[in-house]
Amino acid sequence: MNIQRLSQLAKDFVMNAGAVAVGIATTETLKGGPPSTDLTYVLPGAKSAIVFAVPMDQNAIESFLKKEDMAAANIDNRRVNMMASGLSYELSEFLNMKNITSVPLAANAVYRKDTPNGVFDEKPPISHRYLAVRSGVGHFGLSGNVIMKPYGSAIILSSVVTTADLIPTDPLLPEDNYCDGCKLCVASCASGLMSPDEETTVTMGGVSFTYSKRRSYNRCEYVCGAFTGLHPSGKWSTWSPARFPIPEKDEEFMGALLKTIPAYRSRKRANYGLYHPLAPGSLLEFTCGHCQFVCHPDKAVRKARYKMITESGVVIQEADGTLKAVSPEAAEKHISAMNLDQKSLYEEV
């Protein structure tokens, strides 16, 4: 098949199946990029990748941020991840049936095993984010998340890598990036993943992209992974009822995380979430996602969502496992009334 027709066909395939944006990155357009832009890592002889975005349900976001409903956003997260991974698989098999060698990538939760700490380094085989910004699916926000109108960063990305020499698509124009540096993503992150003052610049195929430097990913794992949830201010939390301290230095996070595993395993948990290879017990409740959900293209919505996060109080867990948000003072009282064994599930004793 003529390469122009094949490139269009691959894009139509995903757009007709629920994706809202698609792009094509090639070994040329990714040249000079970070290791996770090396397409040949997953497919020797790879020449290009089709990368696309599937939107999350905006209706589930605000009740999650207001700490009224944790389930809907968790279930939607699984639905959209499965849809994105499934779409990669379908497109890849479609191309393979046409004798165009291709491999699908999972949307999330797959890591390289050949880095110094193996999967614990959480380095993806291929970074969908880099491919997405280089091929015009979206822009980098200051958060380092990929953002696009009208969904913000509430999207899930996935890709298919192929030996076909497809026609690359251009990055979006920098002046069309709605990120205005409001830093609400940084302010709504209890873990401090995004550096408040340092930036990272990535250059791929001669085009540079800048966003806030990401500190250790163990930070996000510790907080978004539900090991703890109370913001250092003590005024608000994620959906995690744990209140273990959040360290200041990157190198302290792995120790903190390991220390809280017994409590994590012992707390009652919901029967939904993400089966994640690094989660103790394998089922990971998605308790944060603030940087992703706060970032709406409309600044007024962004501000309102930040207020939802920071003014909806602190999550506690009742004896039957129910999670609910209460005022910071009521949360303190709830914990104080526990015996030492119970307390140790939630804070240092």
Contacting residues toward ligand SF4, per CB under 6 A: 141-143, 147, 179-185, 188-189, 191, 193, 220, 223-224, 288-291, 294-295, 302
Phi-psi region of 67 (alpha: psi -120 to 50; beta: other; left: phi over 0): left
CB of 142 to ligand SF4, least distance (A): 4
CB of 195 to ligand SF4, least distance (A): 12
Nearer to ligand SF4, 205 or 225 (CB): 225
Measured from each CB, the residue nearest to ligand SF4 is 141
Q: What are phi and psi of 160, to 5 degrees?
A: -125, 130
CB of 86 to ligand SF4, least distance (A): 24
CB of 336 to ligand SF4, least distance (A): 27
CB of 270 to ligand SF4, least distance (A): 18
* DSSP element (H, E) containing 51: strand 48-55
Q: If 0-12 CB within 10 Å is exposed, 13-18 middle and 19+ buried, where does residue 305 land?
A: buried
Nearer to ligand SF4, 134 or 290 (CB): 290
DSSP 162: E
Nearer to ligand SF4, 87 or 137 (CB): 137
CA atoms within 13 A on the CB side of 287: 32
* CA–CA distance, 4 with 1 (Å, rounded to integer): 8
Tokens of 138: 């979206």
Among residues 236, 259, 227, which one has the least CA distance to residue 349?
259
CB of 314 to ligand SF4, least distance (A): 16
Nearer to ligand SF4, 13 or 211 (CB): 211
Nearer to ligand SF4, 46 or 325 (CB): 325
Q: 105-111: long-range contacts (C-beta < 8 A, 24 or more apart)?
A: 105/42, 105/158, 105/159, 105/160, 105/161, 106/158, 107/81, 107/156, 107/157, 107/158, 108/81, 108/156, 108/274, 109/274, 109/276, 109/277, 111/277
* CA–CA distance, 152 with 65 (Å, rounded to integer): 15
Nearer to ligand SF4, 49 or 288 (CB): 288
Q: What are phi and psi of 38, to 5 degrees?
A: -80, 100
Nearer to ligand SF4, 36 or 210 (CB): 210
At 10, is the secondary structure helix, strand, or coil?
helix
CB of 250 to ligand SF4, least distance (A): 13
Nearer to ligand SF4, 27 or 143 (CB): 143
Cα distances (angstroms) measured from residue 173 to each of 49, 131, 209, 221, 320: 21, 15, 11, 32, 52
CB of 138 to ligand SF4, least distance (A): 11
